[in-house]
Chains A and B, each alone.
Chain A
Amino acid sequence: MGVMTATSSPQQPSGPSLAEIAARLEADSAEVSAPAQLPDATPRVEPAEGLSRRRAARRVDGAWLGGVCTGLAAHLGWPVLVMRLVFVLLAPWQFLGVLIYGVLWLVMPLEQPTEAPGLEAASRTGMRTTQQQVRGADVGAIVALIMLAGGLVWLMQTMGMGWQPTVFWPLAFGSVGLALVWRQADTAGLVRQAGRRRWFGWLRVVLGVVLVALAVTIAVATQTGIEDLPKSLAVGAVALLGVAAVVAPWAFRTRSQLTAARERQLLADARADMAAHLHDSVLQTLALIQRQSDDPKAVAALARKQERELRQWLYGETRDDSTLHSAITAAASEIEDERGVPIDVVVVGDDVPVDGSLDAMARAAREAMLNAAKHSGADRVDVYVEGTDHSVEIFIRDRGKGFDPGTIDESRMGIRGSIIDRMTRNGGRAHIRSSPGEGTEIRLETQR
């Protein structure tokens, strides 16, 4: 048996670190190219970054009906229950609540969940098991809602606040039928349903159409009299068929053209974005690495920077620049690039907007990271940020040469002035633990 089989690695002649880095980078860039080649019929449209999204959108998650209440509640910052109550209370008044709800349902766009491109690509290609979060609405809640609505309508009808029966029944059947069909069209656009759910969807459409037909029948019957019903219906049906026959090919072609055009456009956009991104980032880095291939340290720094950036782009959340987490992460990346020492940031708990004392804290943390990267001689710095309801803590730790905190001399002005004093001035505290040979840990704390 040979020492190497088909799978074993070709032994790269260069040093292990370089080979490893190149391999990693290659792996990364291979992963990036994957999404670009995927023809995807329904990519979600990403909201442009930095665009403020202060528009109310319906939310499927946690919704009872169309998600209007949940969407409005999230938009206004009110409890969902209040929104629901408002609509229910408006309902008895000539069905005003129902009407408004219906209009909002049509007008408000559906909230589109977005994910980082890498994660979306991984989901599409089946590289990860995504939890199906389209929560099947609670059967109990739906039954309760229907009973409530039925009771409400019955109450209004018996109290004489409603409409005449000749108008009411067609209207009731018609609106229930329309609601069923519209709801189906609504959710089908969002989630491509499969198996049992798809069958359920068709059932819903058929039921809705039947109800609408029933409504039309009743309306016609009450207007023209029951004996003329078959004739009127036949006339209506023939007219409909005629219109459908004339319009069908045209509608079909328009529809398929529209779909094809949209697909092409989205695909082209995605490809262009991807190509631009790869060109701007990965290709530049690869070129730099080739030119500096005799300097392992520079290569490592380049690879790490590129890796961080690509990972942020592929998997990262869109970060808001004004929060503590993003401020610390940004400072860490900056120092990492500047000094060539890896800084690992772990954030836990609530993210908070950077203001007053927290701004000072972020600056102090930056100074501490810089100190560690510059003076400690450690090959790595660990930063840990934890926010609770009462306080924010940041730990900056290195395993470098350390010093005696009792004798912070003049050369370590950064620690006294930029960290300890700055924290105290802003109502926080800085605690420094260090001893020669043991490394340093700086703990910053601010009450909220």
Chain B
Amino acid sequence: MQSSFSRLPLGLCLASCLLLSTQAMAQTSVASPAPTTALASDSVYQVNATLTDQNGRAFKLRKHLGKAVLASMFYTSCKFVCPMLIDTMALTRQGLTPEERAQIDMLLISFDPQRDDVKKLKSVALSREVDSSPWTLARTDVSSSRKIAATLGIQYRLLSDGEFNHTTVLVLLDRDGRVVGRTQKMGAADPAFIKLVKQTLGTKASGS
């Protein structure tokens, strides 16, 4: 089976690449239907999930409307990349001017709601010194976690040993909650990503 795959004609691969790119173009040119609410049709905030922050306060994603958001997903028992994720978010924020920092929220949502209760979120928030504005550590129900992850393009999977395998991605949302960019560079601030954050903050909300 493997050898037959390696003999796949190049043309086939090229054709599929072309198809992929035309599909991508079709997706980016999707005409947004008139939104039924004030929310942009392509806003992540269309996910109407109820989340709970590290202080036990319930909120909806759309509470971040009007501010840009650096968002990601994690789980508190993660030992390796997740602490690095918080560091990277903080480093990215440090790359901004004080005026810019005032316009951006930092949002971390657990994809392990069965273990990550409010107490655990609070504990991480305190130990990592991210327990105050603009930081929010949050949890929601299992189904909503999967939906939010799907809109953010974040993948996660529970392994048999209780660890999660997951993509570590920092996602930038504009003031309307649209995904405008992402970086997978961890451990240091990504200059291109910081540039994108600055650009995003420089643009007015569409007000759609």
A and B: interacting chains:
no
